[in-house]
Structure 1
Amino acid sequence: MTKEDFISTFNPSELASELSRGGFQLPSFITPAHHVFHINRIEDYIHAVNFPLPSDLHPRRITLYNFFFLTKGSSIRSKGLDKYQFGANTFFFLPAYEIMTHEFISEDAEGYYCHFSLDLLVSDYKLKDLLNDFPFLNFNCYPLVTINDESKECILPLLNRLEKEYKAGEQCRYEILRAYLIALFTEIKPFATISSSLSHNSAYQITEQFKKALSQHIYQKQKITDYAEMLAVTPNHLNKCVKTVTGKSAHELLSDMVLLEAKVLLKQTSLSVSEIAYQIGRSEVSDFARFFKSKTGMKPGEYRKMVNPEI
């Protein structure tokens, strides 16, 4: 059994239900294209719902790629184990199935949220070429892309056009969505190269590879030596790289990922605490409970009741 077999995710239909529970009027915000593409104004969202919704604050995955673009205000979002604070003129990209939280958004925030399926784009692009051309779509990408005011004048009309086409409902043309998304990504691309090059030294690359490996293998591998072997480095070198980049040891980062996965399982599944302990590699429930409480100050059952009282 893989983690995708028992971690429930938010697919487009579940996202629509979440919006409905939050106060959105579905006819205005959810159109027939929603399963492959959606766009809405951030200011409309935060004014329509009592932000943050529980699903915003607690770890979750969605099955679609998405980006969050601020034209005004500030926000704090996380991707995997990393937290990012950003402001105006900045895109935050998140690949499908990445663990995410949305911790904060300022009351004056304005901009766009958009999710999309790669299926919408790969009819014209080979997947490999798409990911090579637009590095911010990759799983281990640096999520922030900050543009300048001159490029913003070109980018805002593209976003407005995407919004207009999406709101056309039954008359929405996928070829228009596809063309404008590619145009948008092409405008953003030069800034992504600048942003990513700031951090892409050897230690950063190894740390990113380690975090990606953690997200993929945390249920099967829970020893630093396993990951060091996977990355073809010594455990000491892996630890040194991770410490340099994150300020945490490799083992601390591994523990953080185990905790994150445990939170997702407690929130999004009906697995018992003992079953969750087993899935994340803790054979003894008491050991898992001590670990969880040392990190959160709560027992696993208390956390579950807080974030999802229906389970």
Structure 2
Amino acid sequence: MKAQFPIFDICKLSRCEQEDIFISRLAPFLDKHQNLLLSHKHTFYHIVLFTEGAGSHDIDFQRFLVRPYQIYFMGPGQVHSWSFEGKVDGYVVNFSTQFFQSLLLKADYLDQFPFFNGNVAEAVIDLSTNLHPLILDLFEKLVHESETVQHLRQDMVRVLLVQLFIQMDRLSFERPVHQATAYNYTLLRNYQKLVEKNYTSLKLPREYAELLFITPGHLNALCHEVLGQSAGEVIRDRIMLEAKRLLTNLSLTISEVAYQLNFADNSYFTKFFKKHTGLTPEKFRDGLFNQLSQDALSLQ
């Protein structure tokens, strides 16, 4: 297998014109970066609003149909690819993990937004018709700021992005998944943050319940109520996602992937992976790169 999943940073995409922020209309961006149709990873935050187009896009091994006025959010490290049909346009915004640090004292400010929590189901949002003018106006202002040289331009871009995040966050609370009390939702988000930081070392719900000062039963009931899955499944899904991401890196052996995920041995990791996917890690990796090779040939 010679195919590799490329990893892009903002500098590669913008020729280092802007190292921390990149804003563009989507059509010219795609024309310039045809290679981004293939599976790849980002080292930065990535936002796209489609205003026209069809086809599909994959984020962390989940497929979504492209629709006008659909917006999606991605964080660093996620695996992504596109398969478009016909003309596609909209807006793209890429920004580094450091972009907001000079403006906001709260280092984890972005962590509060559900669309940046790594759960892909939260990150792809179809905008209701009444929101089209508001969100479109924000993106137009972002493009305008990126194309002009004005005093405090970068800070204006940051302010516009924060407005976008808050508007989308308010929308997320209108969804059924968030019809929980403010206390329960905050508790759930804290659990998800703990899992994100500790999934390789803490693999039992009771360990997280102890950190949250609640009982394992309370934690499990909360996850069932809001997410429709058990607390254990939240941990398992995060481990599985990272396993799939690591398997895209051909420089890592299966044993090294198992080690990074803190499995006792390669055999236990293989059994765990096959139980939840129906495939061995080797077969999963073969399938990924066979598809990547086919996609590459289709673009030639």
Q: Secondary structure at the match of 2:203?
A: coil
TM-score by length of 1: 0.69
Instruction: Quote the Cα distance in structure 2 between the aligned partners of 1:274 and 1:238.
Output: 33
- 1:226-265 to structure 2, matched below 5 A, reads 226-265=207-246
1:229 Cα deviation (Å)?
A: 1.1
Select 1:33's aligned residue among 17, 27, 41.
17
Distance 1:137 1:44, change over 3 A: farther
Say if 2:89 is the partner of 1:110.
yes
Instruction: Quote the Cα distance in structure 1 between the aligned partners of 2:189 and 2:209.
Output: 13
Instruction: Quote the Cα distance in structure 2 between the aligned partners of 1:236 and 1:160.
Output: 48
1:32 Cα deviation (Å)?
A: 2.5
Instruction: Quote the Cα distance in structure 2 between the aligned partners of 1:135 and 1:83.
Output: 25
Consecutive unaligned residues of structure 2, counting only runs of 5 or more, are: 293-300
Name the amino acid aligned to 1:228.
A
Distance 1:121 1:235, change over 3 A: closer
Consecutive unaligned residues of structure 1, counting only runs of 5 or more, are: 1-7, 17-28, 166-171
Larger RCO (alpha carbons 8 Å, 6+ apart)? 1
Select 1:155's aligned residue among 130, 138, 159.
138
Q: Give aligned pairs, total.
A: 275
Instruction: Quote the Cα distance in structure 2 between the aligned partners of 1:182 and 1:258.
Output: 35
- 1:5-154 to structure 2, matched below 5 A, reads 10=7, 12=9, 16=12, 30-46=14-30, 49=34, 52-55=37-40, 60=41, 62-73=42-53, 78=59, 87-95=67-75, 97=76, 99=78, 101=80, 107-117=86-96, 119-123=98-102, 125-128=103-106, 131=109, 136=113, 140=117, 143=123, 144=125, 146=127, 148-152=131-135, 154=137
Distance 1:131 1:252, change over 3 A: closer
Instruction: Quote the Cα distance in structure 2 between the aligned partners of 1:91 and 1:162.
Output: 20
Distance 1:9 1:35, change over 3 A: farther
Q: Is the CA contact 1:64–1:116 (under 8 Å) kept in the aligned structure 2?
A: yes
Distance 1:257 1:118, change over 3 A: closer
1:183 Cα deviation (Å)?
A: 3.2
TM-score by length of 2: 0.72
| Aligned-pair identity (%) | 23
1:307 Cα deviation (Å)?
A: 3.4
Pairwise CA RMSD: 3.9
1:139 Cα deviation (Å)?
A: 5.0
1:173 Cα deviation (Å)?
A: 7.1
Distance 1:204 1:297, change over 3 A: same
